[in-house]
């Protein structure tokens, strides 16, 4: 029987690559629902090809365009954030791939979990913002969360067959991004065009900027804390410029396991969607002779302050990671609009973490209020 999948954010980088995986395995997967925020043209193309039962366009102004284009196809069309949440509860869906960007992924992911759907998680902000709430809810409803980020997928793969063996430490690898080795003088005038030129990975604009500032790695640290039930001192980050070793697990006997492969997001996407099976693929194979040297170095935490701010938020806990995430989303959006300098993004984050009211055990409603307050203070910082 085919595995039924809904994709939250089908027109983004992860969503389109997930559909490549589905396209390569037509006998394995069935698409139930596709959602997008504003890329109506691509959503229409996807709907015509995969004929999901439903599609949802988040931007309500684009509803008529999508509905009109699909009126002769057996596809129901809805619009708005509430509709996206409702579609995550579809009875036939077994796995929801959350591939949208940022805080917007939290509410529909919670809805999918409450409906008993397993989650293939590419939206790290869901666990960054409300990791304690999300993981508790998943446990309550018997839902598995399969990581899609390459680093977390690597940890997950290394832990296969090791569930009873305590983890001493994990090492999340980072490429270092386009600014690896650059000093503060260079970064003071760094442009968005420079920041968007990642040396190894092809990703969306937001995650690429996060990679350049090491915030992406900071968010992954917080995500790993919840995915694998770890403490802050059990998580470390190491820069690995070649992006071949995707992450490492160290066990209590000192043994280490690493997952390796060429930098290609389709592999962790396919692993999450197909789990527990490893499906055959035609992805390019790694050749050791093409990489005679694999190198490692410590991240420059003094220059790239975001990584330490993320560790600080994780250790503080409660609503602090939510504050960090909201401030970062505002900062990155401002940087992409040339409204703030590269280094000043860290200043904005620090300011919000010092200013926004902190809650030790927030409810979902308190997370929502904290997110709104952090964004308001971040916007005021920009003015």
List the one residue out of 264, 198, 377 whose CA is nearest residue 20.
Answer: 264
| pLDDT at 90 (0 to 100) | 84
| pLDDT at 252 (0 to 100) | 96
Indicate whether this model's pTM tops 0.75: yes
DSSP string, 275-296: TTS-----PPPP-GGG-S----
Contact residues for 78 (Cβ-Cβ < 8 A; gap 6+): 54, 55, 56, 57, 63, 86, 87
> How would you class 104 by CB atoms within 10 Å of its CB: exposed for 0-12, middle for 13-18, buried for 19 or more?
buried
pLDDT higher than threshold 80 for residue 201: no
Query: pLDDT class for 199, splitting at 50, 70, 90?
Result: confident
Angle at 56 between CA 26 and CA 281, to 5 degrees: 25
As a residue count, the chain comes to 383
pLDDT higher than threshold 80 for residue 292: yes
CA-to-CA distance for 220 and 163, rounded, in angstroms?
21
Per-residue pLDDT of 229-258, as tens digits, reads: 999 999 999 999 999 999 999 999 999 999
Q: How far apart are the first and last CA of the chain?
A: 55
pLDDT higher than threshold 90 for residue 204: no
pLDDT higher than threshold 90 for residue 202: no
Collapse the DSSP code of 360 into the 3-class scheme (helix H, G, I; strand E, B; otherwise coil) and give the result.
Answer: coil
Full set of structural domains in the chain with CATH: 3-147 (3.40.50.720), 152-264+284-315 (no CATH), 317-383 (1.10.1740.10)
| pLDDT at 203 (0 to 100) | 76
| pLDDT at 112 (0 to 100) | 96
| pLDDT at 200 (0 to 100) | 78
245-251 and 167-174 beta bridge pairing: antiparallel
Residues 267-280 have a mean pLDDT of 96
| pLDDT at 296 (0 to 100) | 97
Per-residue pLDDT of 332-344, as tens digits, reads: 999 999 999 999 9
Per-residue pLDDT of 207-222, as tens digits, reads: 899 999 999 999 999 9
The pLDDT mean for the chain works out to 96
pLDDT higher than threshold 80 for residue 139: yes
CA-to-CA distance for 240 and 180, rounded, in angstroms?
10
Per-residue pLDDT of 32-60, as tens digits, reads: 999 999 999 999 999 999 999 999 999 99
CA-to-CA distance for 223 and 314, rounded, in angstroms?
9
- Exposure string (b/e) for 164-187, b if CB count within 10 Å is 16 or more? eeebeebbbbbbbbbbbebeeeeb
Query: pLDDT class for 89, splitting at 50, 70, 90?
Result: confident
CA-to-CA distance for 123 and 121, rounded, in angstroms?
6
Residues 145-166 have a mean pLDDT of 96
User: pLDDT over 90 for what percent of the chain?
Assistant: 93
Q: What strands, in cross-sheet order, belong to the sheet with 245-251?
A: 235-239, 167-174, 245-251, 256-260
Per-residue pLDDT of 355-374, as tens digits, reads: 999 999 999 999 999 999 99
Distance of CA 260 to the CA centre of its chain: 20
| pLDDT at 214 (0 to 100) | 96
> How would you class 131 by CB atoms within 10 Å of its CB: exposed for 0-12, middle for 13-18, buried for 19 or more?
buried
| pLDDT at 179 (0 to 100) | 94
| pLDDT at 127 (0 to 100) | 96
């Amino acid at each position: 029987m085919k595995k039924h999948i809904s994709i939250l954010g089908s027109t983004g980088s992860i969503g389109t690559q997930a559909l490549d995986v589905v396209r390569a395995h037509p006998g394995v997967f069935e698409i139930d629902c596709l959602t997008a925020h504003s890329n109506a043209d691509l959503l229409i193309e996807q709907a015509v090809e995969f004929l999901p039962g439903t599609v949802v366009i988040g931007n309500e102004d684009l509803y008529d365009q999508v509905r009109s284009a699909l009126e002769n196809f057996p596809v129901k069309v809805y619009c708005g954030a509430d509709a996206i949440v409702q579609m995550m509860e579809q009875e036939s869906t077994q796995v929801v791939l959350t591939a949208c960007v940022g805080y917007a992924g939290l509410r529909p992911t919670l809805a999918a979990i409450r409906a008993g759907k397993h989650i293939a998680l590419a939206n790290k902000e869901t666990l960054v913002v409300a990791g304690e709430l999300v993981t508790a809810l998943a446990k309550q409803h018997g839902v598995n969360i399969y990581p899609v980020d390459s680093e977390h997928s690597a940890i997950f793969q290394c832990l296969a067959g090791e569930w009873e063996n305590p983890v001493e430490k994990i090492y999340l690898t980072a490429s270092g991004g386009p600014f690896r080795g650059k000093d503060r003088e260079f970064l003071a005038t760094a442009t968005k065009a420079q920041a968007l030129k990642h040396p190894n990975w092809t990703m969306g604009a937001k995650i690429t900027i996060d990679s350049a500032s090491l915030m992406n790695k900071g968010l992954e640290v917080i995500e790993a804390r919840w995915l694998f039930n770890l403490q802050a001192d059990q998580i470390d980050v190491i820069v690995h410029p070649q992006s071949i070793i995707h992450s490492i697990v160290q066990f209590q006997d000192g043994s280490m396991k690493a997952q390796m492969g060429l930098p290609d997001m389709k592999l962790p996407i396919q692993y999450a969607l197909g789990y527990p099976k490893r499906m055959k693929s035609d992805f390019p194979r790694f050749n050791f002779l093409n990489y005679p040297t694999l190198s490692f170095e410590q991240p420059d935490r003094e220059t790239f302050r975001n990584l330490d701010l993320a560790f600080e938020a994780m250790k503080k806990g409660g609503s602090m990671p939510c504050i960090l995430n909201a401030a970062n989303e505002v900062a990155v959006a401002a940087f992409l609009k040339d409204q703030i300098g590269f280094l000043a993004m860290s200043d904005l984050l620090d300011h919000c973490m010092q200013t926004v009211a902190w809650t030790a055990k927030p409810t979902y409603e308190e997370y929502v209020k904290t997110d709104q307050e952090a964004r308001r203070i971040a916007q005021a910082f920009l003015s």
